[in-house]
């Protein structure tokens, strides 16, 4: 059975026909999150500031899907300028303690929606019982 998360507390309003998250069995697939406020407006800032807001949106999607950030198994981070990765690395270390960090990829793209600098997405997994 699939559950589609389109709205939830703390999630930005979407201007696109997609879900914030889709839950399939014990997995939660999270759409890319940008530095958007509750109204879906882009909030520009440094790469670290944008990543902090994007992660807050990602965590809100996890909560709406009844998952936690500790259940994140994989995080994907896209940058417009990969030279800004150290700032986001520092944030990643703050958000996820050593020994409990999800797997991750980071890469550079030509552009992001709204002129954003950073986009984060991920996959979470609950432990199977039985």
| Res 85 pLDDT > 70 | yes
According to DSSP, the residues that pair with 121 across neighbouring strands are 76
Instruction: Work out the pLDDT band at 129, boundaries 50, 70, 90.
Output: low
Whole-structure pTM value: 0.94
We find that the CATH architecture of domain 2-125 is: 2-Layer Sandwich (3.30)
Q: What percent of the chain has pLDDT over 70?
A: 98
pLDDT in the model for residue 14: 74
Domain boundaries, the chain: 2-125
């Amino acid at each position: 059975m699939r559950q589609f998360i389109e709205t939830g507390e703390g999630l930005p309003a979407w201007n696109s026909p997609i879900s914030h998250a889709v839950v399939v069995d014990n997995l939660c697939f999270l759409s890319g999150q940008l530095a958007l406020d509750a109204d879906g407006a882009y909030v520009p800032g440094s790469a670290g500031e944008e990543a902090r807001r994007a992660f807050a949106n990602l965590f809100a999607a996890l909560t709406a899907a009844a998952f936690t950030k500790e259940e994140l198994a994989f995080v994907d981070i896209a940058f417009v300028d990969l030279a800004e990765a150290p700032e986001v690395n520092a944030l990643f270390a703050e958000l996820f303690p050593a020994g409990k960090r999800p797997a991750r990829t980071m890469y550079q793209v030509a552009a992001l929606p709204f002129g954003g600098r950073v986009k984060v997405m991920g996959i979470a997994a609950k432990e199977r019982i039985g």
